[in-house]
Amino acid sequence: MIYGHYCIHPDRVDEHPEIKTRINRIKQLEKLKAPEVIMVNERRMLDELRTMQFNVKHFRRRITSVYVNGDEDAILDNYSVVLKDMGFDPATAYGTKATLFDGTDYLKPIESMADDEILTFLRYVSGKFADYSKKYEETLEKIRGLFIKRLEYCVEYGVYPESAGGCIGRLKEMIIEIDDGFTTTLDDVVGWYNAHRNITVISAMQFRGSDAFTLFHEMSHACAGGSEGVRGFYRLEEFFGEEYENAYALMSETFANARAIHLASVKDQPDWMKQEQVRDIKVEIIIRKSGKQDIDKDIFYKAYYSDDIKDVEALANAIKENFDADALLRDLSTIKDTHCVEEVKYRGKDVIKEAKFRSKHKHDNIDGCYRYYFIGSHRFKTKVMDEVMKLIFARQFWSES
């Protein structure tokens, strides 16, 4: 389905996930025989949402902003992946404006098209995206099945807590859709998961008919907590407050990514994946191992996977007992760049200068924060680092299936 960010053809507007959710809500309220005053308001909001989604003026403004911001190339990558695969007929898509199509820029002719012509274009391209999703439905289901199989294996052998298995039903029912880039690429992401609607959307240019990792990453997010939208490490805000939202986001993102890499089990990991795995696990190590005492792995993992707020509270209490919690969460919240850097930059012969350097640069990135907390820990030992490196680079214990 093509979203067009704010616009979809009126014939298909009820297929939009947000509108589906509103329709289902109305049906549930009708079953409960809700008062008419409530139903009138619900139906009004549904009508307004439908109107907004196929309002061509909104779509025109969005297209204009794409070109003004210089983002058209990224969006067109999504279009190119799908339309080159499924075939594209300019005459059907653009009608009399077909001569304006240069063979690469699928959106440019829209500037000169009337509203009814734009809706014809949307109907045509929306169908192509639907056909593309259908073509690769089996591939997406295979990726989903592989993730679930490996997750079940990890739960069975105690690598992940039993609560991680509780999300499998949600994973099996999750909607998976391919996006044209307006709700992914323009937000500088390759995919997202929405707990309220239990839907994962991945960009066409990232998926390209085969990529499994993006879906693995989003399914890792889907494993966290319940379906109310505040899940996993984000629920720490109930114990520390909203001001550390960036810290919870960093913890959640890096943990989900590390688990996705682990479950993906790529035999010959590319350099970017190795670097991301090292970076992601360092966040976990900072929290679990650089305090006064180690925080048990089960406490950390259960806080991510469990629906029970008591499991999150156990992690919150462990952080309070072993850290100056405000200092830790403030540092994690203010990291400017999560990419890895060469750790040699944090090493020096002068202990005092090195300590000052670590303190000054602890917010630069994960490596800076990692070295600040870990080198400053009285329990820091080479043995611990050896164990960490073995964990990060160990071969996976399953075979590709």
Predicted pLDDT of residue 400: 40
Beta pairing class for 199-203 and 191-194: antiparallel
Tens digit of pLDDT for each residue in 226-269?
545 667 899 999 999 999 999 999 999 999 999 999 888 766 77
Task: Indicate the pTM of the whole model.
Answer: 0.81
Beta pairing class for 175-179 and 191-194: unpaired
Q: Between 381 and 127, whose confidence is greater?
A: 127
Beta pairing class for 175-179 and 199-203: parallel
Q: Pick the closest to residue 3 from 126, 116, 110 (CA basis).
A: 126
Predicted pLDDT of residue 395: 44
Tens digit of pLDDT for each residue in 170-226?
899 998 988 888 888 887 888 888 887 788 889 999 999 888 899 999 999 998 865
Tens digit of pLDDT for each residue in 14-35?
877 778 888 988 998 889 888 8
- Cα–Cα distance measured from residue 329 to residue 324, given in angstroms and rounded to the nearest whole number: 9
Local confidence band at 306 (pLDDT 50, 70, 90 cut-offs): confident
What residues contact 57, with CB distance under 8 A and at least 6 apart?
none
Tens digit of pLDDT for each residue in 353-367?
778 888 888 888 898
Strand intervals (E) in 155-211 = 175-179, 191-194, 199-203
What mean pLDDT is predicted for residues 135-164? 92
Q: Pick the closest to residue 239 from 123, 318, 149, 357 (CA basis).
A: 318
Question: Which segments of 199-341 does DSSP mark as H helices, in order?
Answer: 204-207, 213-222, 237-240, 245-264, 271-289, 297-305, 309-322, 325-333
Q: What's at 142, amino acid-wise?
A: K
Local confidence band at 344 (pLDDT 50, 70, 90 cut-offs): low
What residues contact 180, with CB distance under 8 A and at least 6 apart?
2, 3, 4, 75, 78, 79, 82, 125, 129, 204
Strand order in the sheet with 191-194: 175-179, 199-203, 191-194
Q: Are 148 and 401 in contact (CB under 8 A)?
A: no
- Cα–Cα distance measured from residue 25 to residue 92, given in angstroms and rounded to the nearest whole number: 37
> What are the phi and psi torsion angles at 204 (to 5°)?
-65, -40
Local confidence band at 396 (pLDDT 50, 70, 90 cut-offs): very low
Predicted pLDDT of residue 225: 60
